[in-house]
Amino acid sequence: MNRRKFVKTIGALAPAAAFVNSTFGNPLSKQVKPIVISTWQGNVKANEKAWEQLMNNLPALEAVHQGVMVPEADPDDMSVGYGGLPDRDGVVTLDACIMDHLGNIGAVMALENIIHASSVARGVMEKTPHVQLVGDGALQFALEQGFKKENLLTEKSVAAWKEWLKTSLYNPMTTVEEIQKSIENNHDTIGMLALDHQGNLSGACSTSGMAYKLHGRVGDSPIIGAGLYVDNEIGAATATGVGEEVVRICGSHTIVEAMRYGKSPEEACKSAVERLIKMKGETYCKKVQIGFIAVDKNGNTGCYSLLPKFTMAVRDQVGSRVIQAKSIF
Ligand code: SD4
């Protein structure tokens, strides 16, 4: 997709969202709050929902939860919740987690038949002594909490799966082409971070994971420290891309720690991406995509990815905009 088409696509999705290139570091470190950011330009709508909560003076936790529920319920979003692409056996399995400013956490992994995995994750956080539930146990808990069992497959996702079955090529790598395709669809995993009026941070992450994965595969998105991390003293980070690679470097925690030791959000995201290159080498890293977004305690934001075309959606007092992330390659 050329740049003009890319910008046009963004415009069509979110007329109010401007498109800007990322600038390195935060030369003008200032207090920006409230603010909400999320992975990928398709999540501008989710940001708006989160923003509404912040404007109603609700806490960041409520904002990120309501925000990620938007793509979870959207049948056209083929990477999250209802309509998400299934695993190789044709089963939609969802991963989600949530973390608040007090270090409370909750996650569900490989959850089936429930649209709002993030709500179940929040339930795990608020109503159980545990932090993670998987598979059947997660579903059992959801049903006990009154969630309704639903078919998460749509005509579109079944058609895509059937098309894939013709070759059944299982390639867990997110290639540049796949990323390109998902950008054209304007959707992908949502990782969302918010800083509220009180200056508190929270985050949530929700996905149907890699399309056509092995049944039972869990990525980074529901793993606290990998797909999401919040430290209310420092900042927060969240991830997208090939979960296996994000887990390998404990991506989001790595970024928060880098901010703790003085890096700006963008520098911190870049340092996590560089860590993967150091570990696995350039040849390997040119075949996988990982992208991070981060916000610090003052509301400064940043993003960085391995391969091009990663974007971050931002909503603050200034308005809604999409940032084109810098990438290593
Ligand atoms: C996963 N990180 O399950 C997710 C997938 C993703 O953009 O982010 N796709 O590995």
Contact 153, 82 (CB under 8 A): no
Contact 111, 135 (CB under 8 A): yes
Tens digit of pLDDT for each residue in 59-70?
999 999 999 999
Tens digit of pLDDT for each residue in 282-319?
999 998 999 999 999 999 999 999 999 999 999 999 99
- At residue 140, what are phi and psi to the nearest 5 degrees? -55, -45
Q: Give me the count of residues in the chain.
A: 329
Tens digit of pLDDT for each residue in 27-41?
445 678 999 999 999
**pLDDT given at position 20:** 74
Q: Which of 39, 174, 189, 254 is catalytic?
A: 189
Residue of higher predicted confidence among 171 and 7: 171
How does residue 184 score in pLDDT terms, banded at 50, 70 and 90?
A: very low
Q: Residue 22 pLDDT more than 80?
A: no
Q: From atom 7 of ligand 1, which residue's Cα is the shortest distance away?
A: 241
Q: Ligand 1 within 6 A of 77 CB?
A: no
Q: Is 5 helix (H, G, I), strand (E, B) or coil?
A: helix
Q: Ligand 1 within 6 A of 221 CB?
A: yes
> What is the mean predicted confidence (pLDDT) over 52-56?
98
Tens digit of pLDDT for each residue in 250-285?
999 999 999 999 999 999 999 999 999 999 999 999
Cis check: omega of the bond before 34, within 30 degrees of 0? yes
| Gap between the Cα atoms of 128 and 113, Å rounded | 21
Task: Read off the tokens for 187.
Answer: 């959707």
- From residue 34, how far is each of 68, 166, 317 by CA, in Å? 17, 48, 8
Report which ligand 1 atom has the smallest distance to the Cα of 244.
10
Tens digit of pLDDT for each residue in 90-123?
999 999 999 999 999 999 999 999 999 999 999 9
pTM of the model: 0.91
Tens digit of pLDDT for each residue in 155-182?
999 999 999 999 887 665 445 555 555 5
Q: What is the CA(243)–ligand 1 centre distance, in A?
A: 5
Contact 121, 108 (CB under 8 A): yes
Q: What is the CA(263)–ligand 1 centre distance, in A?
A: 25
**pLDDT given at position 183:** 46
- List the alpha helices (DSSP H) in 99-250: 117-127, 135-144, 155-165, 176-184, 243-248
Packed helices 117-127 and 60-73: angle between N→C axes, nearest 10 degrees = 150
Q: What is the CA(289)–ligand 1 centre distance, in A?
A: 9
Q: From atom 3 of ligand 1, which residue's Cα is the shortest distance away?
A: 209
Q: What is the mean pLDDT of the chain?
A: 90
| Gap between the Cα atoms of 136 and 186, Å rounded | 31
Token match 């003052």: residue?
298
Report which ligand 1 atom has the smallest distance to the Cα of 79.
9
Q: Residue 188 pLDDT more than 60?
A: yes
- From residue 321, how far is each of 41, 101, 314, 327 by CA, in Å? 8, 25, 5, 19
Is 189 known to be catalytic? yes
Domains of the chain (ranges; CATH) run 33-327 (3.60.20.30)
- List the alpha helices (DSSP H) in 38-116: 44-55, 60-73
